[in-house]
Amino acid sequence: MREFYYKYLKWLGEEKGNNREVILSTRIRLARNLEDFVFPIQATESQRRRILNKVEWVYKNDLNFGGYEFLKLEKLPNLVLESLVEKHLISDDHLDNIKGAGLLVDRDGKLSVMINEEDHFRLQVLSSGLELKESWQRLLSLEESFSDYFKFAFDDKLGYLTSCITNLGCGVRISFIVHLPGLTYSGKIKDFLRKLRSAKILIRGIYGERSKPIAGFYQITSRSSLGIKEEDLIEKMEKMAKKIITEELVTREFLFEEQKRYVEDVIGRAYGILSNARYLSSIEAINLLSDLRFGIYLKMLDIPLKVLDLLMILMLPAHLQLKYGKEMDSEERDGVRADLLRGFLKNYKINPGGVV
């Protein structure tokens, strides 16, 4: 199981200078279903396995998938399944029925296909920072490879048929995980999120539906795709992302200029706790790492963003247990997490002055 600790996270280690200080990641997802098959939630186990077995055959026989791995979820240990959720490669809903469910994923974790989740196929591409157009082309290539073997359910008026009505049409969902400490600490976050909602943007926690925002991290997601062209949706979401980036960075700079001592105190306290704590829950650790991430932008710390972003996944419950090769109760995890973060920060010193 330990090999799954670092696995499929290479995409998160990319460093391209593409507004990563605000846009932690970009995800584009395509929902596709097959003709002559009922949706997965209504399908029999036999029908689900037929689809899964066909994907496995394609994986083994098409050279386009030579850099991928094929996983049958029911054959994986629970800790590995939970780690795949923490990596954003599968969803909690995918685990509701793992009979006949699978994951096709490239070795970087950038391109993947959830098989028999809410739809027969959920094709997705993940990238660090704001990266829409290049990611879209990669996803189209993956869809094209699949369309050589599968006929997707399509209606001339409704577009691609999906199990959820909000995915009808082009079947595209675009989402960003954003980090908004400036807007949060300035007290402007509620008004800003209200403006996003009025623009028909969904705001969720970083693990999607039913999850709550944590420590200034939000998932910003496009709403309905019915009647919208893919290119128009990409353009709309790119403009929205750039507005978020501008608003957040302007607020960070204003906050640092006008309330420098307060900002230094927030980041200094986070560094002090992480450097000395013996127990840390996941939520507390994410809150404190969020403050350090803010401090990196202000040049109070010289930790590479890609390293901190990776650390925020590696210290989550399933990943910690994979690292040590055993199941742990919450108290043991909290102790090991504190040890991990304390050891990590020994390599970095804080610069209280900072520079915007």
Position 340 in a domain: yes
pLDDT for 257 beyond 80: yes
Position 356 in a domain: no
pLDDT at position 208: 61
- Alpha-carbon dihedral 50, 51, 57, 59, rounded to 10 degrees: -160
pLDDT for 16 beyond 80: no
Q: Give yes or no: residues 68 and 17 share one domain.
A: yes
pLDDT tens per residue, range 78-103 = 999 999 999 999 999 999 999 999 99
More confident of the two residues 155 and 356: 155
Position 162 in a domain: yes
Angle at 164 between CA 163 and CA 167, to 5 degrees: 110
Q: Give yes or no: residues 27 and 155 share one domain.
A: yes
Please give the average per-residue pLDDT across 321-334, as a whole number.
Answer: 96
CATH number of the domain at 244, please: 3.30.590.10
Q: Give yes or no: residues 276 and 236 share one domain.
A: no
Position 352 in a domain: no
Q: Give yes or no: residues 161 and 274 share one domain.
A: no
Asked if 105 and 94 touch (Cβ cutoff 8 Å), the reply is: no
pLDDT at position 356: 43
Position 13 in a domain: yes
Please give the average per-residue pLDDT across 320-343, as a whole number.
Answer: 96
Position 198 in a domain: yes
Position 351 in a domain: no
More confident of the two residues 18 and 183: 183
For residue 278, the tally of other CB atoms under 10 A from its CB is: 9
Q: Give yes or no: residues 149 and 270 share one domain.
A: no
3-class SS letters over the chain: CHHHCCCCCHHHHCCCCCCCCCEEEEEEEEEECECCCCCCCCCCHHHHHHHHHHHHHHHHHCHHHCCEEEEEHHHCCHHHHHHHHHCCCCCCHHHHCCCCCEEEEECCCCEEEEECCCCCEEEEEEEECCCCHHHHHHHHHHHHHHHCCCCECEECCCEECCCCHHHCECCEEEEEEEECHHHHHHCCHHHHHHHHHHCCEEEEECCECCCCCECCEEEEEECCCCCCCHHHHHHHHHHHHHHHHHHHHHHHHHHHHHCHHHHHHHHHHHHHHHHHCCCCCHHHHHHHHHHHHHHHHCCCCCCCHHHHHHHHHHCCHHHHHHHHCCCCCHHHHHHHHHHHHHHHHCCCCCCCCCCC
State the Cα–Cα distance between residues 353 and 73, nearest whole angstrom: 49
- The rounded percent of the chain whose pLDDT value lies above 70 is 96
Q: Give yes or no: residues 206 and 331 share one domain.
A: no
pLDDT tens per residue, range 114-129 = 999 999 999 999 999 9
pLDDT tens per residue, range 165-201 = 888 888 899 999 999 999 999 999 999 999 999 988 8
State the Cα–Cα distance between residues 74 and 62, nearest whole angstrom: 24
State the Cα–Cα distance between residues 33 and 152, nearest whole angstrom: 5
**Structural domain range at position 328:** 259-345
Nearest to 52 by CA among 100, 15, 90: 100
pLDDT at position 215: 84
* Binding-site annotation: residue ranges: 25-29, 88, 122, 173-177, 204-209
pLDDT for 278 beyond 90: yes
Q: Give yes or no: residues 55 and 75 share one domain.
A: yes
Mean pLDDT in the chain? 93
> Within 13 Å and on the Cβ side, how many CA atoms surround 117?
24
Chosen domain end from 197, 223, 251: 251
* Binding-site annotation: residue ranges for ATP: 25-29, 88, 122, 173-177, 204-209
pLDDT at position 346: 93
Please give the average per-residue pLDDT across 72-77, as a whole number.
Answer: 97
Chosen domain end from 220, 251, 282: 251
With bands split at pLDDT 50, 70 and 90, how would you rate the model's confidence at 344? Answer: very high
Least confident of 92-96, 210-214, 295-299: 210-214
Q: Give yes or no: residues 284 and 338 share one domain.
A: yes
State the Cα–Cα distance between residues 111 and 125, nearest whole angstrom: 5
State the Cα–Cα distance between residues 80 and 318, nearest whole angstrom: 7
Nearest to 259 by CA among 137, 354, 138: 354
With bands split at pLDDT 50, 70 and 90, how would you rate the model's confidence at 204? Answer: confident
Nearest to 256 by CA among 169, 165, 159, 185: 185
Q: Give yes or no: residues 243 and 270 share one domain.
A: no
pLDDT at position 200: 84
pLDDT tens per residue, range 228-252 = 788 899 999 999 999 999 999 999 9
pLDDT at position 15: 67
Instruction: Give 186's contacts (C-beta < 8 A, 6+ positions apart).
Output: 251, 254, 255
pLDDT tens per residue, range 28-67 = 999 999 998 999 999 999 999 999 999 999 999 999 999 9
Chosen domain end from 230, 251, 272: 251
Nearest to 278 by CA among 327, 342, 328, 329: 342
Q: Give yes or no: residues 193 and 312 share one domain.
A: no
Looking at the 3D structure of the chain, how many domains does it have?
2
Position 355 in a domain: no
Q: Give yes or no: residues 131 and 229 share one domain.
A: yes
Q: Give yes or no: residues 155 and 301 share one domain.
A: no
